[in-house]
Every structure is written in structure tokens, then in C-alpha cells.
Amino acid sequence: MLLFTNITRRLKRCAKDAQLGRAKNSSPFNLALWVKVKNMKFQNPEVEKTFNTYSSKIKKQLLSVRRLIFEIAHKTNEVGNIEETLKWDNPSYITSKPKSGTTIRLSSVRGSNSEYAISVHCQTTLIAEFKEKYPELTYEGNRSIILNLNEKLPSYEIEEFIFLALTYHYRKKQGIGI
């Protein structure tokens, strides 16, 4: 069974160690990854333009989720390269080589100033499985987790969701469930 770890906490702890002069106790690889991902430029100028259309608060949250996608992809051997593109006018993240996962899309929720969504292909089983495991989250059909700026981001659950989406096809081929 795959073990899911909290990557963000480890990377932030590593960065804090470096700031406090304890970098020798931290993996230089982790610190380099944290700096690289935190300052990552957009692969596609159209994606950047789309992010710039969001309100500053929604944009900040979606950029945090984007950063998590790249961090988790980089730390997961089965994932490989991530391609950043637009699908249905939303920033989208695709595992290109190998095709280990399903597309993750980020968006603001139409008609709301405080909601944003993390979406996957509607024919995957991810949302159905997640609804069973985390019924307290808000969902839209079988394609999205809806998050609200006025509520604390469920970090662990979102990191797990991203991990599961990025490894969806890999896990399916291996017969590994959620």
C-alpha cells in the first residue's frame, strides 16, 4: 500500500531550518525543491493570464494548490513530468510522461466570490471514493471538491487528493485503491 506523507510540512520545516542556520540538518535536496517550486514560473503564458483574472484571495489559494501539485509530483517517483495547460479555460495539470494520473483543474466557482474548486475528470472514481472517506468536504457532482476562502483549507485531505489524482492511472494498473 502506498504511504501518503505530508510533503508541505517537511519542506517548510526544511526551509525554516535553513533560515535558522540549521541547513546541515536538512536535506539540501528538499530545500532546493522548496525554493524551486515556491518561485516556479508558469509553463504557459495563457495559464498565467487566467490566474490573473481571479480575485487576489482566490488567486493566492489556487497558487498554493498549484505549488502542491508540483511538489507532490516532484516527490512521487510514479508521477514524472507535469504539463501545465488550459482545459475548459481552467489551469490544468496533466501527467505527461508517464501518463500516471488524471488531469487536475483549478478554478474559481462561478457566481461566488469566496469559493474555488479542484476538479478531476468526471469518469474517474476519485470524487466518489473521497466522498466516502471525507464526507465533511463539499463536492460538486463527481468532478470537484469545492473549497471556501472563509474556511480553513483542509491541507492533508487536499494533498492526499492531489497525490491520488496524480497517481490515478498508475494505481489502477497496479490494482491499488484509495
Residue-wise pLDDT for 59-114, tens only, equals 999 999 999 999 998 888 888 788 999 998 999 998 887 788 899 999 999 989 99
Q: What is the DSSP string of the chain?
A: -PPP--HHHHHHHHHHHHHTT-GGGS-HHHHHHHHHHHTPPPS-HHHHHHHTTS-HHHHHHHHHHHHHHHHHHHH-TTT-EEEEEEETTEEEEEEEES--S--EEEEEPTT-SSEEEEEE-TTSSHHHHHHHH-TTSEEETTTEEEEETTS---HHHHHHHHHHHHTHHHHHHHT---
Residue 34 has pLDDT above 50, yes or no: no
What is the pTM (predicted TM-score) of this model?
0.77
Average pLDDT in the 146-155 region?
Answer: 92
Measured distance CA(130)–CA(14) in Å, rounded: 30
What domains lie within the chain, and their CATH numbers? Answer: 7-174 (3.90.1150.200)
Task: For residue 3, name the pLDDT band (cuts at 50, 70, 90).
Answer: very low
- Output the pLDDT for position 27: 40
Nearest to 82 by CA among 173, 172, 167, 144: 167
Cell 496524480, residue located: 166
